Amino acid sequence: MSSENLELIIGWLYPTLMSTYGDRGNVITIQRRAQWRGYNVQVVALDQNSTDADIQAVDIIVGGGAQDRQQEIVMRDLQGAKADAMRDKIENGTPGVFTCGSPQLLGKYYEPALGQRIEGLGILDLVSVHPGENTQRCIGNLVIEVTASRLAQELEDMTGSKPYLVGFENHGGRTKLGKVEALGRVVYGLGNNGEDGTEGAFYQNAIATYSHGPLLPKNPFVADWLIQTALRLKYQEHISLSPLDDSLALQARSAMLHRLKVSLPNPAIAKV
């Protein structure tokens, strides 16, 4: 099947409320990397004007960070049939990348610095608590090794090297994982809570992370994993992506790793 006949629909969660820290870069990265390979791409906002059918129709979901107040507004809207549609999509393996405030909402609950607990969708077995306005936020560069076993293997198959992600975190909430698998282990930075060395979560094909950066421009192989996973699920064919020139992203990663004095066993990133 030629790529011009194939289409990907990216669903972007509440773009005006949840894209606080440049997370829009994740949407653009998926869009452009798919278009460069000749796929048709549509980006649709999933927000207050959307229905559950709009959520059901997307192939990849991207959710960014938000401030506590915005998270509350989103959770008031994401109820009933819309909440069920999100649950369905993730349970059925729709790939997605969810950053910071978004995983807090996909978890069981988030307790903001001020005000009432915000109930989450309960899709991810995790809870997040902001210890209060006088507690230091977790801010800074972040490097993690992906340890979620299937994802780590699939990324390694795509790139030929162990997957490390470079990003930037900025959150007050601390997340504790229940039975859900961590996305990775912290190599540099604080991650889920600054205590247990875990970062993010991985469930079905949903990547949850505190890493802004934004994540995908700095780690383009993750964008390719999302695209490939979405295409395979949608078209039920073993679609593989053609390679792109990632030398600039590779240089940016090396510069950051060098600055942070993190040396990785094998920093190569792209062979897709």
> Cβ 219 to ligand GLN, closest distance in Å?
18
100 is catalytic: yes
Run of H or E residues at 207: strand 206-209
Residue 130 CB, nearest approach to ligand GLN (Å): 6
The nearest distance, CB 125 to ligand GLN, in angstroms, is: 18
Q: Which is nearer to ligand GLN, 47 or 246 (CB)?
A: 47
Residue closer to ligand GLN by CB (options 96, 173) is 173
Reported as type and span, the H/E element at residue 55 is helix 52-56
Among residues 2 and 116, whose Cβ is nearest to ligand GLN?
A: 116
Closer by beta carbon to ligand GLN, 3 or else 20: 20
Nearest C-alpha neighbor of 73 from the set 128, 122, 10, 18 = 18
Q: Both tokens of residue 161?
A: 């090297």
Q: Which of 130, 138, 171, 212 is catalytic?
A: 212
* Binding positions for ligand GLN, rule: CB under 6 A: 20-21, 65-68, 71, 100-101, 130, 170-173
Smallest distance from ligand GLN to CB 210, Å: 8
Helix (H, G, I), strand (E, B) or coil at 112: coil
Catalytic: which of 100, 130, 138, 171? Answer: 100
Q: Give whichever of 8 and 112 is closer to ligand GLN, judged by the CB atom.
A: 112
Residues present in the chain in total = 272
Query: Nearest to residue 52, comparing CAs of 92, 80, 14, 93?
Result: 80
Q: Is 267 helix (H, G, I), strand (E, B) or coil?
A: coil
Which of 240, 266, 250, 261 is closest to 6 using CA atoms? 240
CB 25 within 8 A of CB 214: yes
Secondary structure element (H or E) that encloses residue 111, with its range: strand 109-111
Instruction: Consult the annotation and say whether 137 binds a ligand.
Output: yes
Which residue lies nearest ligand GLN, judged by its C-beta?
65
Where does residue 116 rank: exposed (0-12), middle (13-18), buried (19+ CB within 10 A)? exposed
- Closest distance to ligand GLN from the beta carbon of 90 (Å): 19
CA 162 to chain CA centroid, Å, is 19
| Binding-site entries | 137
| Binding-site entries for substrate | 137
Report the catalytic residues.
100, 212
